[in-house]
């Protein structure tokens, strides 16, 4: 009787804790297709409002790991380090960081996701490279990590099928921005994919699911706890997502910007800075460097020498993509219309509502509104003015790249996202907190002055 989905929905709705068996019944039933989307959606919404205890969150994570296979990477030499972002706008970090860290000698075996809500996903971005294959088998992934030190794959294997299903259901039922659901989603994937260590980039700000740094800190702590409880060394940085990272939002646009960052790091300073900060922590986790300062030095040299760009080329080729893609301009101009969005007054850019920018890209077709939607790799938004810039009325704030769908709404959203005022405001820090397995929480550098949190 008690194991009926409707009873478990009601139990959570009324604020009670579910038992370990009840949670595993729901996850198994949903994964097997025995519990329908409408009941799982209702349960997710109940969790959204009522939350989960630490024990429930741990049980949910374990049930999701058990829903599929677990990858064993122990036969690949070295400490395998994974990285995961909780989701941002214009967040093409993995495309820069994975080849950078791999070129530094730390093997990267990473499972990535698709776009979620207003945020983009690495797999959608990679698939905008002609021929690029993300659906590798576990054996293919391992072979590639052994040969070139790097693979980024989708969840297509039988790893955490429960997360795959729940992820796309949450995406369309307004149940993404919830600490236990994000923590279990991220950590189940990380545990199942077999990495020895994980660096989590927990986003906060107007473009993140966690708008406030303190909520992001709670999420960071929850995930680090789950990692430690499951033998995965985990460090989390709470980082700023109060404006899009770099200038481009949209799949092919973002790949192109990642290539630019590897080719000419000064062209995309905020993206490169974040990659250096995150990459330094990955080198420390991978025991390639004793501390963040020396790790950063190694990464800066690799970036300057062009080795990271060469690794990107090798990586694209290894996963079936056309490596010459990165030498060409993304063929956008012929197939999409570019519509500029202009400043409506003089002033400083004091705020860019980043979720709204993400929604502009979404309505153009860069993300999914329904589960079964396909993304259009060509479309998106380019930000021309970032926070702190002074603009004159009529200057371009940004450009909408449209393939015909949602153009007017995207233009309206992009204009609406900008706040222009007479006086500039102080920039927020890039990193707010660092959370490590031993529970130490330190606030990050004030305004990027100390570059090694
Ligand atoms: N990233 C994930 O993998 N899962 C979430 O729930 C949110 C961000």
Pick the catalytic residue: 163, 242, 270, 376? Answer: 163
Is-contact 318 328, C-beta < 8 A? no
Element (H, E) at 169: helix 161-171
Bridge partner list, 111: 153
Is residue 190 in a domain?
yes
Is residue 198 in a domain?
yes
Annotated active-site residue 189? The verdict is yes
Q: Which of 89-103, 208-222, 280-294, 327-341 has the lowest mean pLDDT?
A: 327-341
pLDDT band at 2 (very low <50, low <70, confident <90, very high): low
Element (H, E) at 40: helix 37-50
pLDDT band at 452 (very low <50, low <70, confident <90, very high): very low
- The domain tally of the chain equals 3
Q: What per-residue confidence (pLDDT) applies to 441?
A: 67
Distance CA 219, CA 255 (A): 28
Say which CATH number the domain at 18 has.
1.20.970.10
Is-contact 83 108, C-beta < 8 A? yes
Q: What b/e sequence results for 361-395 when a residue is b if at least 16 CB atoms lie within 10 Å of its CB, and e otherwise?
A: bbbbbbbbeeeeeebbbbbbbbbbbebebebeeee
In this structure, the answer to whether residues 135 and 42 fall within a common structural domain is no
Annotated active-site residue 84? The verdict is yes
Is residue 256 in a domain?
yes
Bridge partner list, 200: 84, 236
pLDDT band at 437 (very low <50, low <70, confident <90, very high): confident
Q: Whose CA is nearest to atom 6 of ligand 1?
A: 182
pLDDT at 77 over 80: yes
Say which CATH number the domain at 369 has.
3.90.1170.30
In this structure, the answer to whether residues 297 and 414 fall within a common structural domain is no
pLDDT band at 120 (very low <50, low <70, confident <90, very high): confident
Q: Whose CA is nearest to atom 3 of ligand 1?
A: 186
pLDDT in tens, 338-354: 999 999 999 999 999 99
> Whose CA is closest to 99, among 254, 302, 247?
302
pLDDT band at 446 (very low <50, low <70, confident <90, very high): very low
199 CB contacts (<8 Å, ≥6 apart)?
81, 82, 83, 84, 234, 235, 236, 237, 278, 281, 282, 285
Pick the catalytic residue: 12, 84, 142, 378? Answer: 84
Measuring CA to CA, how many Å separate 276 from each of 152, 269, 294? 19, 10, 11
**Does 326 or 426 have the greater pLDDT score?**
426
**Does 97 or 138 have the greater pLDDT score?**
97
Ligand 1: list residues with CB < 6 Å.
86-87, 113, 116, 167, 176, 181-182, 185-186
Which atom of ligand 1 is found nearest the CA of 176? 6
In this structure, the answer to whether residues 137 and 262 fall within a common structural domain is yes
Is residue 450 in a domain?
no
pLDDT at 448 over 50: no
Query: How far does residue 337's CA lie from ligand 1's centre (Å)?
Result: 32
Annotated active-site residue 263? The verdict is no
pLDDT in tens, 239-286: 999 999 999 999 999 999 999 999 999 999 999 999 999 999 999 999
Q: What per-residue confidence (pLDDT) applies to 103?
A: 98
Supply the mean pLDDT for the chain: 92
Mean pLDDT (whole number) for 32-53: 98
Is residue 341 in a domain?
yes
Query: How far does residue 185's CA lie from ligand 1's centre (Å)?
Result: 5
Which residue range forms the structural domain that includes residue 251? 81-157+167-326+430-443
Neighbours of 22 (CB within 10 A): 18
Q: Whose CA is nearest to atom 2 of ligand 1?
A: 186
Is-contact 202 186, C-beta < 8 A? no
**Does 429 or 119 have the greater pLDDT score?**
429
Mean pLDDT (whole number) for 397-417: 97
In this structure, the answer to whether residues 261 and 305 fall within a common structural domain is yes
Q: Whose CA is nearest to atom 8 of ligand 1?
A: 86
Query: How far does residue 357's CA lie from ligand 1's centre (Å)?
Result: 19
* % of the chain surpassing 90 pLDDT: 82
pLDDT in tens, 236-245: 999 999 999 9
In this structure, the answer to whether residues 290 and 152 fall within a common structural domain is yes
Q: What per-residue confidence (pLDDT) applies to 119?
A: 82
Q: Which of 34-43, 109-118, 124-133, 315-324 has the lowest mean pLDDT?
A: 109-118
- Which tokens hold the place of 59? 């049980």
- Which tokens hold the place of 288? 């390639």
Pick the catalytic residue: 67, 112, 128, 185? Answer: 185
Q: What per-residue confidence (pLDDT) applies to 334?
A: 61
In this structure, the answer to whether residues 180 and 243 fall within a common structural domain is yes
Mean pLDDT (whole number) for 371-387: 92
- According to DSSP, residue 334 is labeled T
Residues in the chain: 453
Query: How far does residue 65's CA lie from ligand 1's centre (Å)?
Result: 14
pLDDT band at 140 (very low <50, low <70, confident <90, very high): very high
pLDDT at 453 over 50: no
pLDDT band at 175 (very low <50, low <70, confident <90, very high): very high
Give Cα 269 distance to the centre of its chain. 19
Dihedral over alpha carbons 260, 264, 269, 271 (to 10 degrees): 40
pLDDT at 146 over 90: yes
> Whose CA is closest to 316, among 125, 104, 132?
132
Pick the catalytic residue: 62, 80, 92, 170? Answer: 170
pLDDT at 227 over 60: yes
Q: What per-residue confidence (pLDDT) applies to 112?
A: 87
Q: Which of 164-178, 293-307, 403-417, 428-442 has the lowest mean pLDDT?
A: 428-442
Is residue 67 in a domain?
no
Is residue 142 in a domain?
yes
């Amino acid at each position: 009787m008690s194991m009926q989905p409707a009873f478990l929905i009601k139990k959570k709705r009324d604020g009670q804790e579910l038992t370990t068996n009840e949670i595993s019944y729901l996850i198994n039933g949903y994964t097997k297709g025995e519990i329908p989307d409408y009941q799982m959606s209702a349960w997710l919404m109940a969790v959204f409002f009522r939350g989960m205890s630490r024990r429930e969150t741990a049980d949910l994570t374990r049930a999701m790991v058990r829903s599929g296979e677990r990858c064993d990477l122990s036969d690949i030499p070295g400490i395998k380090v994974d990285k995961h972002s909780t989701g941002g706008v214009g967040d093409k970090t993995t495309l820069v960081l994975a080849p950078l860290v791999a070129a530094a000698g730390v093997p990267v075996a990473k499972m990535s996701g698709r776009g979620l809500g207003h945020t983009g996903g690495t797999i959608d971005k990679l698939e905008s490279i002609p021929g690029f294959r993300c659906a590798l088998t576990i054996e293919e992934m391992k072979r590639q990590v052994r040969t070139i030190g790097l693979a980024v794959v989708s969840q297509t294997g039988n790893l955490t099928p429960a997360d795959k299903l729940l992820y796309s259901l949450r995406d369309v039922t307004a149940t993404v921005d919830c600490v236990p659901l994000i923590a279990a989603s991220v950590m189940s994937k990380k545990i199942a994919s077999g990495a020895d260590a994980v660096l989590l980039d927990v986003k906060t700000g107007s473009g993140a699911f966690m708008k406030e740094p303190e909520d992001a800190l709670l999420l960071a702590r929850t995930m680090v706890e789950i990692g430690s409880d499951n033998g995965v060394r985990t460090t989390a940085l709470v980082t700023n997502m109060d404006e899009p990272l770099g200038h481009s939002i949209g799949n092919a646009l973002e790949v192109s910007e990642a290539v630019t960052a590897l080719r000419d790091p000064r062209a995309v300073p905020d993206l490169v800075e974040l990659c250096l900060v995150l990459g330094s922590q990955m080198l420390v986790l991978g025991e390639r460097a004793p501390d963040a300062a020396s790790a950063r030095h190694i990464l800066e040299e690799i970036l300057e020498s062009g080795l990271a760009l060469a690794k990107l080329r090798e990586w694209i080729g290894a996963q079936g993509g056309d490596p010459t893609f990165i030498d060409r301009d993304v063929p956008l101009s012929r197939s999409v219309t570019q519509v500029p969005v202009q400043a409506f007054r003089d002033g400083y850019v004091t705020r860019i509502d980043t979720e709204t920018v993400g929604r502009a890209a979404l309505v153009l077709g860069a993300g999914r509104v329904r589960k079964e939607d396909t993304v259009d790799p060509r479309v998106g938004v380019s930000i021309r003015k970032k926070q702190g810039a002074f603009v004159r009325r009529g200057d371009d704030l940004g450009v909408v790249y449209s393939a015909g769908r949602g153009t007017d709404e995207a233009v309206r959203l992009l204009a609406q996202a900008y706040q222009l005022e007479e006086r500039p405001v102080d920039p927020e820090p890039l990193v707010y907190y660092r959370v490590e397995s031993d529970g130490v929480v330190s606030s990050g550098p004030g305004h990027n002055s100390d570059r090694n949190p």
